[in-house]
Amino acid sequence: MSSTMGKIKIIKGDITTLACDAIVNAANSSLLGGGGVDGAIHYAAGPELLAECRTLHGCRTGEAKITKGYKLPSRFVIHTVGPVYFEHTPVEAEEFLTSCYENSLNLAKENGLKTIAFPLISAGVYGYPQKDAIKVAVETMKSHQNDFDEITLVLFGVREFGIAEDDYPEFVEN
Ligand code: ADP
């Protein structure tokens, strides 16, 4: 591995507590808040985040938009909209999910950001199988590794963390 390559990490925890250049939000297309990680991010960032989100006029599936982080320890939030798994064929769903990671990483790069953390997009209410979602996340992160100092995948549940320990032990940090 070349020394210019950034580090990929998989950790268990709450993404709202991380101090990175940007954390990624698994938002819905309205960008006006929801449950799961979206609710947690808005709660921790405070009402100014929602006010900025209102100016963005939503976001399409697979695309990404950036805001400030407000009360979060992270400077920015990149909002991306994952596919609802059962609204697509598995192939389409994978393309959309890959686009979420790609577009978020490209937006971070355009803004000169070097450390970024992702939740497991679409793998909660949107129903994407966790093992497959982790694979899409890690493969996309690997392909952008050279552009960042650190890319972190933050897993919230024991079950998905266990899958990552089995499938990607080289990236897991306990
Ligand atoms: P989606 O609608 O894209 O499925 P969810 O928020 O329902 O989004 O779930 C996405 C993932 O985020 C799930 O794996 C869920 O366990 C996880 N999650 C929920 N809260 C947090 C949090 N505070 N930090 C990190 N991950 C979280």
* pLDDT per residue as tens digits for the range 7-25: 999 999 999 999 999 999 9
DSSP the chain: --TTPPEEEEEES-GGG--SSEEEEEE-TT-S--SHHHHHHHHHH-HHHHHHHHTTT---BT-EEEEE-TTSSSSEEEEEEPPPGGGS-HHHHHHHHHHHHHHHHHHHHHTT--EEEE--TTSSTT---HHHHHHHHHHHHHHTGGG-SEEEEEE-SHHHHHHHHHH-TTTB--
Ligand 1 atom having least distance to the Cα of 160:
14
* pLDDT per residue as tens digits for the range 40-94: 999 999 999 999 999 999 999 999 999 999 999 999 999 999 999 999 999 999 9
pLDDT of residue 145: 94
The domains located in the chain, with CATH, are 10-165 (3.40.220.10)
Confidence bin at 174 (pLDDT 50/70/90):
confident
pTM above 0.95, yes or no: yes
67 DSSP β-pair partners: 77
pLDDT of residue 4: 59
Q: Are 103 and 49 in contact (CB under 8 A)?
A: no
Give the torsion through C-alpha atoms of 26, 68, 148, 162, to 10 deg.
-30
Q: Does residue 48's CB lie within 6 angstroms of at least one atom of ligand 1?
A: no
Q: Does residue 83's CB lie within 6 angstroms of at least one atom of ligand 1?
A: no
Q: Does residue 126's CB lie within 6 angstroms of at least one atom of ligand 1?
A: yes
Q: Does residue 105's CB lie within 6 angstroms of at least one atom of ligand 1?
A: no
* pLDDT per residue as tens digits for the range 141-161: 999 999 999 999 999 999 999
**What mean pLDDT comes out for the span 107-126?**
98
Q: Does residue 15's CB lie within 6 angstroms of at least one atom of ligand 1?
A: yes
CA of 7 to the centre of ligand 1 (A): 23
Task: Give the contacts of 162 (CB within 8 A, at least 6 positions apart).
Answer: none
- Rounded distance between C-alpha atoms, residue 79 and residue 87, angstroms: 20
* pLDDT per residue as tens digits for the range 121-145: 999 999 999 999 999 999 999 999 9
Q: Are 82 and 100 in contact (CB under 8 A)?
A: yes
pLDDT of residue 1: 47
Q: List the residue whose alpha carbon is closest to atom 15 of ligand 1.
A: 124
Q: Which strands, in side-by-side order, build the sheet including 76-81?
A: 7-12, 150-155, 115-118, 22-27, 76-81, 64-68
pLDDT of residue 2: 47
